[in-house]
Chains A and B, each alone.
Chain A
Amino acid sequence: MTANRLAESLLALSQQEELADLPKDYLLSESEDEGDNDGERKHQKLLEAISSLDGKNRRKLAERSEASLKVSEFNVSSEGSGEKLVLADLLEPVKTSSSLATVKKQLSRVKSKKTVELPLNKEEIERIHREVAFNKTAQVLSKWDPVVLKNRQAEQLVFPLEKEEPAIAPIEHVLSGWKARTPLEQEIFNLLHKNKQPVTDPLLTPVEKASLRAMSLEEAKMRRAELQRARALQSYYEAKARREKKIKSKKYHKVVKKGKAKKALKEFEQLRKVNPAAALEELEKIEKARMMERMSLKHQNSGKWAKSKAIMAKYDLEARQAMQEQLSKNKELTQKLQVASESEEEEGGTEDVEELLVPDVVNEVQMNADGPNPWMLRSCTSDTKEAATQEDPEQLPELEAHGVSESEGEERPVAEEEILLREFEERRSLRKRSELSQDAEPAGSQETKDSGSQEVLSELRVLSQKLKENHQSRKQKASSEGTIPQVQREEPAPEEEEPLLLQRPERVQTLEELEELGKEECFQNKELPRPVLEGQQSERTPNNRPDAPKEKKKKEQMIDLQNLLTTQSPSVKSLAVPTIEELLSLVSSQEDEEERNHRQMIKEAFAGDDVIRDFLKEKREAVEASKPKDVDLTLPGWGEWGGVGLKPSAKKRRRFLIKAPEGPPRKDKNLPNVIINEKRNIHAAAHQVRVLPYPFTHHWQFERTIQTPIGSTWNTQRAFQKLTTPKVVTKPGHIINPIKAEDVGYRSSSRSDLSVIQRNPKRITTRHKKQLKKCSVD
């Protein structure tokens, strides 16, 4: 209601206003009305302003509700439709026409398109063009790189380039047109025919033909295909294996290993059922593997992995487990075989004394007997052999006392050793049998064989100890030294007594070390009785020896001038073996000759010293003159008193003296009777090379290339020609065309260009590559 009322009032107001405005145009001079009117309008305006404070009505104010005389073109409102004005609507005519559809479409297209960016400036465009062009050309040109390189390195280039094929007719053609004419030729041909030697066309003997015919083409092809297939399969398999090997996952490997083990076990089971003998063999192999592992002691706690795990074990349960696993494995592997351990235990239990006597050696021997370990066996025997040879000379007298006479020779030590071992065995077996407290019985039984068992026993003890020691030391060293020199060294001291004997192995070690030091010394050492002395000697000798020649050398270098000239040279008595009449004539002239001689001798004796002194003086002067001079830059009187009789202080002089660098040693340094001029021959130097040519960095390198003379005076004609071949040879009267792709074996098609590039990708520089990449991106 209120709204309606308001609207009505407003309407009324406006009407009044219109009415009031109308007479205004016509009646300009109506003043009384004017004032009234004016006040009303103001009031009206005020009202309007107040009403417009309300937000809702604000827009409605702009509405043109009534046609008026003054229509503002800026106040067009689209109030009625309530939607935005579309450009196309402007075109909408009263009635639709088809001709406007195309324009509409164009308009829509124009709207859909984005704005076109500014074109690049000219320089940039050109640069891009250039880059693209460069890449293309570089690509094309890079195929010439190898050719250029080859031509640069070539000894000689011959132009024009086209090569003529050497017109060599095949020998068959030559032969076919040739007939034997002379009797000799005919005879030869007869011979050839007799031996079925082919003379003409195929040039193959029947045998060769047959061998050719042995395989048909299809067969060969098939075989080839088969081979190819096999090769391909192999390569696949290899690739697969390689890939699998590269897998880093530990889990995977664990699984694989386990699977393999399982498989092996299964197979073994099967094998046991099917073929027990083979299974046994297999078992042996497994046993061997175990032994190997035991020997190598792979599963101890000493490895890198194990150590790291040990550190981790405190905190990591898994690591602890792994370690325990390893330890258990180690235990398992290092467990001794039952047989051996049993005997040991028995022994240990039964006799304490014997343990000292026969500990390891016996065990090892037994193991040798049991286990199939040829390496151990051999080393053991060889060791014992060595020991025997060493002990041999000492043992000899004792053995002789026992009445055991053995043949001297090579086999003796070995045999002796064997006897020894057998004795041990016997003793052990006896002990086993008699269990406890049967010391007397074995001794008695032994007495049947040997005269004095006690003696033997003591001897054996010593021997066994030595054996052991020897063995251990050998094992530690594990050096493959020849036994022969050792034996040689041992032999010269057979008179040594028992206590000395026990020290033997150590001494041997020292001697061996000595031997390593120097072979020649050991020959000296052999003669010397005492090893300690030997050691000293050997230490002294290397020091002394090099000294002696050095001193000698030094002495030799500086030759005494006095000696040089005054050495008494042998004089010749009979010069021209004179005949008798010549002799007579000689005798006649002898007297005055002697007189002359005498006079000359005196003269020489006085002159000689002078000559030498003069020469030495001259030489000293020459040496002084050739020495580079020091430069003295002291300024007397600068910073101190100067004047006549005053010299600058020594400190100052020292400070301002520039010492000349010491030149190379003189060539005649060690030649007292020679003065060699050290001055440079400038005239000759003008002819020498003074600039190193390109690829050389040191003058020695270049000198080596010019040391061989190339003139015909020093070379044969052929060599001279070869050494002086011109770098470029041109045929007179021929046109030299520029090089073409066909000349060097390239096809000129674009494909060949690409192939060339692919073949040598390294030829393209990195810069080229970058540019190529850029191009592809663009």
Chain B
Amino acid sequence: METAPKPGKDVPPKKDKLQTKRKKPRRYWEEETVPTTAGASPGPPRNKKNRELRPQRPKNAYILKKSRISKKPQVPKKPREWKNPESQRGLSGAQDPFPGPAPVPVEVVQKFCRIDKSRKLPHSKAKTRSRLEVAEAKEEETSIKAARSELLLAEEPGFLEGEDGEDTAKICQADIVEAVDIASAAKHFDLNLRQFGPYRLNYSRTGRHLAFGGRRGHVAALDWVTKKLMCEINVMEAVRDIRFLHSEALLAVAQNRWLHIYDNQGIELHCIRRCDRVTRLEFLPFHFLLATASETGFLTYLDVSVGKIVAALNARAGRLDVMSQNPYNAVIHLGHSNGTVSLWSPAMKEPLAKILCHRGGVRAVAVDSTGTYMATSGLDHQLKIFDLRGTYQPLSTRTLPHGAGHPAFSQRGLLVAGMGDVVNIWAGQGKASPPSLEQPYLTHRLSGPVHGLQFCPFEDVLGVGHTGGITSMLVPGAGEPNFDGLESNPYRSRKQRQEWEVKALLEKVPAELICLDPRALAEVDVISLEQGKKEQIERLGYDPQAKAPFQPKPKQKGRSSTASLVKRKRKVMDEEHRDKVRQSLQQQHHKEAKAKPTGARPSALDRFVR
């Protein structure tokens, strides 16, 4: 690991994203395993392009990792953090030049704030208000702490940038391999397996292991970094899909007839006959659910931790062979031949939503890791990117000559799709932006038609399964550079894996919690609440939370006569009544305004119309 960068360093940044004029295209390829020189100085902010000429550097200069500290003028979050400098004076009289805790950039803190303050709360009592204040203070404190810990995410994603006007899509794999270090170059390889037909492949969650299955029964699993083969078998049956379960020790293979589960030695552990004629497999890691889509039109959820089928849902749309999962909310997306994509949860018998995406059938679906974008490709040769945040509208559309197959998103939002024997990769502007389909970021031609595509997690590697075997491509900037060592550690030992397995099982999320908006679970069930209230009122015969009728306060000096009391009471009553009337009038106006047709205006000549 590299040391934390010193913010005060005055060395000009060694690497930047400028596009200086040069003879040869500059390619920057970064690999997090590459040991880099310590003390990388923070570069200029990413959004600003430095147009200044820099001294020439060797062509194959490695990218140094950027620190995450923003170089923007860091405004202290709260002025009170700055303590009185006098109190900071030490014994010797020396003064701390930077008193108080280090300032945290506000934008970073904002990222961790989860309380939705846009919604205005109704008037609350003092006690409630104090509770709310405590909650907000806690949120602020924790988000500041989280923002501070961003400093520990020292790794920077890689990128590839062409020279002025140069298209990055023209850069072929050989160039990249030539430019990067040996360790990274070793990640590009081809497996020539022409015998057993087109291959489907799957990386384990840590990104360390690779499993692939050929149409003609060839199943193998290997540690692809060290190229150590774990198992290799032939199941003597057509293999439709292959998927790792929660760890690399278990492997689900959708075979011609039934679903089989193997361990990493290639020993068949289970044959699940309730899942027959499975075409596609998806594994939901936090729920320990294996979702299978079958030719019979059933979507089956299998809980692999207890070996029980949680739900078998009939999609009523014929053969299912297009499936993907939304990693954000664990909703399964199924593509159908009538151009719709349906969203499923095991808790509901009907789809959560149905989206009409294409005029022809849907060929393939993919959802990005943040659950924001969905890429669909249809038989109408279109590739569309949909916004999944409530609107479900296409953000961009592109017609491709052959259409696109097997789209997949990388962790950092790159989109890959195979067109025949060509693989196209599109990139967005930033991390949160959808990939723009204008210009491909990278292209690669393979020896046969593509049959399976997946980006390797935490690596800038794309695995392509095709008729000629398996190809591992280098795609700079595809993988997330910082991994959570407790969650999915590529370097974990067996012991660590076992520990993690136990913890993950303890934290297993119940299957019925899968819904479109996972944050809705943190909301009060309003319907039950209202129901309960109604029942209580019925039981008691009165509303215990009803507003007490207005009781005028007794006043002194003879102003508390019965008449005045009654008058005051009446005043309040009238005011309330007026409020009610006003509200109802407003509602009426609202309704009328809505009901009124906006387009046709009554004209004076209408009276002559017969």
Contacts and interface: CB of A to CB of B under 8 A. Distances in A.
**Same complex:** yes
Interface of A: 153, 171, 192, 197, 551, 554, 559, 561, 564-573, 575-578, 582, 593, 597, 600, 603-604, 607-608, 611-612, 614-615, 618, 667-668, 671, 673-677, 679-692, 695-709, 713, 715-716, 718-719, 722-723
Nearest to A694: B127
Given A578-B445, A690-B524, A697-B128, A704 B135 contact: yes
B324 interface: no
Given A679-B350, A708-B142, A575 B422 contact: yes
A713 B503 CA distance: 12
Contacts of A615: 338-340, 354, 356
B121 interface: yes
15 contacts: A197-B93, A571-B399, A571-B401, A572-B400, A607-B359, A611-B358, A676-B352, A677-B351, A677-B353, A687-B513, A690-B524, A690-B529, A701-B121, A705-B132, A722-B141
Contacts of B440: 575-576
A690 B532 contact: yes
Contacts of B381: 600
A722 B354 CA distance: 43
B119 A695 contact: no
Contacts of B345: 681
B114 interface: yes
Nearest to B171: A577
Contacts of A604: 359-360, 379-380
A708 B382 contact: no
Contacts of A680: 527
Contact of A674 (B134, B353, B382, B545): B353
Contacts of B50: none
A691 B91 CA distance: 57
Given A572-B398, A689-B525, A692-B529, A716 B116 contact: no
A682 B131 CA distance: 30
A567 B359 CA distance: 11
B359 A690 contact: no
Contact of A716 (B149, B358, B510, B514): B149
A723 B134 CA distance: 11
A256 B164 CA distance: 92
B523 A704 contact: no
A388 B544 CA distance: 75
Contacts, number: 230
B400 A703 contact: no
A578 B401 CA distance: 15
Scoring B136, B142, B352, B437 by chain A CB atoms within 10 A of each residue's CB, the highest score goes to B142
Scoring B148, B360, B514 by chain A CB atoms within 10 A of each residue's CB, the highest score goes to B360
Interface string B303-344: 000000000000000000000000000000000001110000
A718 B356 contact: no
A723 B124 CA distance: 24
B74 to A, nearest CB: 20
Given A614-B338, A697-B124, A716 B356 contact: no
A378 to B, nearest CB: 41
Contacts of B445: 576, 578, 582
Given A554-B598, A576-B444, A708-B114, A683 B526 contact: no
Contacts of A197: 92-93
Contacts of B399: 568-572
A711 to B, nearest CB: 9
Given A576-B443, A688-B524, A699-B529, A681 B347 contact: yes
A576 to B, nearest CB: 4
A396 to B, nearest CB: 51
B169 A577 contact: yes
Interface in B345-381: 345, 347-348, 350-360, 379-381
Given A701-B128, A708-B115, A575 B92 contact: no
Given A171-B91, A671-B391, A707-B114, A575 B419 contact: yes
Contacts of B580: none
A600 B350 contact: no
A668 B392 CA distance: 10
State which size class the interface on B falls in. 35 or more
A147 B30 CA distance: 61
B263 interface: no
| Complex A-B, nearest 4 residue pairs according to Cβ-Cβ distance, in ascending order | A683-B512, A608-B359, A569-B397, A576-B443
A195 to B, nearest CB: 9
A266 to B, nearest CB: 45
A611 B360 CA distance: 8
A612 B356 contact: yes
Given A571-B398, A607-B359, A675-B353, A696 B128 contact: yes
Scoring B119, B130, B167, B401 by chain A CB atoms within 10 A of each residue's CB, the highest score goes to B401
A575 B142 contact: no
B128 A569 contact: no
Interface string B140-169: 011001101100000000000000000101
Nearest to A672: B356
B524 A697 contact: no
A346 B116 CA distance: 79
Given A608-B380, A677-B350, 20 more contacts: A566-B359, A568-B399, A570-B399, A575-B443, A576-B440, A582-B445, A611-B338, A615-B354, A674-B356, A677-B348, A677-B353, A684-B514, A688-B521, A688-B523, A689-B524, A691-B532, A692-B524, A707-B522, A708-B142, A715-B142
A707 B532 CA distance: 23
Contacts of B357: 673
A557 to B, nearest CB: 11
A571 B403 CA distance: 10
Given A577-B170, A697-B125, A683 B347 contact: yes
A621 B384 CA distance: 27
Contacts of A554: 598
B6 interface: no
A339 B532 CA distance: 89
B339 A684 contact: no
A593 B419 CA distance: 13
Contact of B145 (A668, A690, A695, A718): A718
Contact of B142 (A668, A673, A697, A719): A719
A679 B515 CA distance: 12
B95 to A, nearest CB: 14
Contacts of B525: 685, 688-690
A684 B338 contact: no
Contacts of B578: none
Contacts of B141: 719, 722
A675 B125 contact: no
A701 B400 contact: no
Contacts of B93: 197
A727 to B, nearest CB: 13
Given A695-B125, A699-B524, A575 B400 contact: yes
A582 B420 CA distance: 13
A715 B527 CA distance: 31
A681 B526 CA distance: 13
B529 A575 contact: no
A611 B337 CA distance: 10
A573 B400 CA distance: 8
B401 A679 contact: no
A684 B521 contact: yes
A700 B382 contact: no
A484 B380 CA distance: 64
Contacts of B87: none
A570 B398 contact: yes
B59 interface: no
Nearest to A622: B354
B393 A671 contact: yes
B122 interface: yes
A576 B445 CA distance: 7
B360 A607 contact: yes
Contacts of B401: 571-573, 575, 593, 597
A695 B149 CA distance: 34
B92 A192 contact: yes
